[in-house]
Amino acid sequence: MSYLIKRIGIPLVSGLWLLTSMPQAFSAEPLPLSTSYWKDPAFLKSFNGSYRIEARIEPSVTTEERGLLVEVQNLMAAGNRTGALEKIRSNPLTDKSPALTFNLANLLFETGEIDKAIAAYESALKEYPSFRRAHRNLALALVRDNKLPEALDHLTEAIRLGDAEGSTYGLLGYCRLARKEFASALQAYRIAQVTEPDVAEWKAGVAQCLQETGGKEEAVALLDEVIALRPLEASYAVLLANIHLDLDRPDSAAKALELPYRLGILPPDPTLILADLHLRADRPDAAKAVTDAAFARETKPGTTTILRLINTASSQGNWPFAKDLLAKAETLEPSRPMNLAKARYLIDSEEDHAAGAKLLEKLVSDDPTDGTALIALAKHHADSGQPGSAELLLERATADTLSAYEAHIELVRLLVAQSRYAEALKSTDAALALNPTEQLKNYRKALAETASAAE
SS (H, E, C) 275-315: HHHHHHCCCHHHHHHHHHHHHHCCCCCCHHHHHHHHHHHHH
Mean pLDDT of all residues in 282-297: 95
Tell me the chain's radius of gyration from C-alpha atoms: 30
Name the residue with higher pLDDT: 97 or 155: 155
**Residue 20 pLDDT level (bands cut at 50, 70, 90):** very low
Cα-based torsion angle of the residue sequence 83, 89, 91, 96 in order, rounded to the nearest 10 degrees: 150
| DSSP at 55 | G
28 pLDDT more than 50: no
Q: What local confidence, expressed as pLDDT, does residue 154 receive?
A: 96
434 pLDDT more than 90: yes
Which pTM does this prediction carry?
0.74
Mean pLDDT of all residues in 417-429: 94
Ordered domains of the chain (ranges, CATH): 1-17+317-455 (1.25.40.10), 41-163 (1.25.40.10)
Q: What local confidence, expressed as pLDDT, does residue 5 receive?
A: 36
1 pLDDT more than 60: no
265 pLDDT more than 60: yes
Q: What local confidence, expressed as pLDDT, does residue 429 receive?
A: 95
324 pLDDT more than 50: yes
**Residue 35 pLDDT level (bands cut at 50, 70, 90):** low
Name the residue with higher pLDDT: 219 or 17: 219
Report the chain's mean pLDDT, rounded to a whole number: 86
3 pLDDT more than 50: no
Chain centroid to CA 233: 16
**Residue 48 pLDDT level (bands cut at 50, 70, 90):** low
CB-based contact 331:306 (threshold 8 Å): no
Q: What local confidence, expressed as pLDDT, does residue 87 receive?
A: 83
DSSP 3-state percent helix, strand, coil across the chain (nearest 5): 75, 0, 25
Per residue in 227-251, pLDDT (tens digit) is: 998 888 899 999 999 999 999 999 9
383 pLDDT more than 50: yes
Per residue in 141-194, pLDDT (tens digit) is: 999 999 999 999 999 999 999 999 999 999 999 999 999 999 999 999 999 999
Q: Is 324 exposed, middle or buried (0-12, 13-18, 19+ CB in 10 A)?
A: middle
Per residue in 207-217, pLDDT (tens digit) is: 999 999 889 99
17 pLDDT more than 60: no
Q: What local confidence, expressed as pLDDT, does residue 120 receive?
A: 92
Mean pLDDT of all residues in 48-58: 54
9 pLDDT more than 80: no
Q: What local confidence, expressed as pLDDT, does residue 16 receive?
A: 30
Q: What local confidence, expressed as pLDDT, does residue 64 receive?
A: 83
In angstroms, the CA 318 to CA 372 distance is: 23
